[in-house]
Amino acid sequence: MTGQPRYNPAMDVLDAEFIAGATALAQLPAPTFAEVAFAGRSNVGKSSLINNLVLRKKLVRTSSAPGCTRAINIFRVRLRTDGEEAHLDLVDLPGYGYAQRSKAERKAWGPLIEGFLSERPGLRGAVVIIDIRRGVQDDDEQLLEFLESIGIAPILVATKLDKLPTSKRKPAIAKLRNQVGRPVTPYSSITGDGRDALWKRLLQVSSIDRPEPTSQP
Ligand SMILES: Nc1nc2c(ncn2[C@@H]2O[C@H](COP(=O)(O)OP(=O)(O)O)[C@@H](O)[C@H]2O)c(=O)[nH]1
Ligand SMILES: [Mg+2]
């Protein structure tokens, strides 16, 4: 990745590639590496955030037309941290909450998202992405409650930070923190604000910052 800005000297993304996409859980390949899921309302900026994390403009297809991603897509990141290479799979879940979709179609998504989050072995964490300007909506709330019910502590990201004037950012973040009662990472996929902080959390939850001793079976 010569020529790419080094955001975090302790961590480099070496490579990122699309691994698999599926519209049913049974179609997904078995997990190989640690996985972190990304969830959020349609158009919240989920795909842009994944692209920004891996410093690729078009790894994940983004869209100005809401509700385009109906599948679960897995992207494998090869990274180097403290001289060690590691892999992490980033899972782009279907966006929820798109009102213009048929009820039947919307109903089909709940089980897909919830099924993945509750049944996927190897899942280390779930990033829930909120639009900083909108705050937590009803369907975000439902997802957060679901995650709590299955014992996953969500990593909350408030994206599109650049869309707020500087003077409104701090109050918006504080309001969101109060609303959800947990830490929130402000992010902009345009400027890369929040990228280091989010990577840190991702490496923590996937235990890549603390490699486990390899045990022989
Ligand atoms: N200004 C700004 N626009 C963003 C940001 N993230 C996403 N967008 C825009 O929001 C729209 C939806 O983004 P996308 O990543 O496709 O959302 P997804 O449906 O959640 O995957 C696109 O037009 C993006 O360019 C951000 O951090 N800042
Ligand atoms: Mg998307």
In CATH, the architecture of 11-205 is 3-Layer(aba) Sandwich (3.40)
Residue 199's pLDDT is 96
The pLDDT tens digits of the residues spanning 104-162 come to 555 666 889 999 999 998 899 999 999 999 999 988 999 999 999 999 999 999 999 99
> Measuring from atom 8 of ligand 1, which residue has the nearest CA?
45
Does pLDDT of 2 surpass 50?
no
- Residue 102 vs residue 145, higher pLDDT: 145
Does pLDDT of 164 surpass 70?
yes
Centre of ligand 2 from the C-alpha of residue 66, in Å: 8
> Measuring from atom 7 of ligand 1, which residue has the nearest CA?
45
Give the 3-state secondary structure of residue 1: coil
Cβ < 6 A, ligand 1 pocket: 40, 42-48, 62-64, 69, 95, 159-160, 162-163, 188-190
Query: Domain segments of the chain: what residues?
Result: 11-205
pTM for this model (two decimals): 0.89
> Is 56 within 8 Å of 1 (Cβ atoms)?
no
Does pLDDT of 98 surpass 70?
no
Residue 130's pLDDT is 97
The pLDDT tens digits of the residues spanning 59-75 come to 777 765 544 557 899 99
Tell me how far apart the alpha carbons of residues 63 and 109 are, in angstroms, rounded to a whole number.
19
Mean pLDDT, the chain, rounded, equals 86
Tell me how far apart the alpha carbons of residues 109 and 95 are, in angstroms, rounded to a whole number.
9
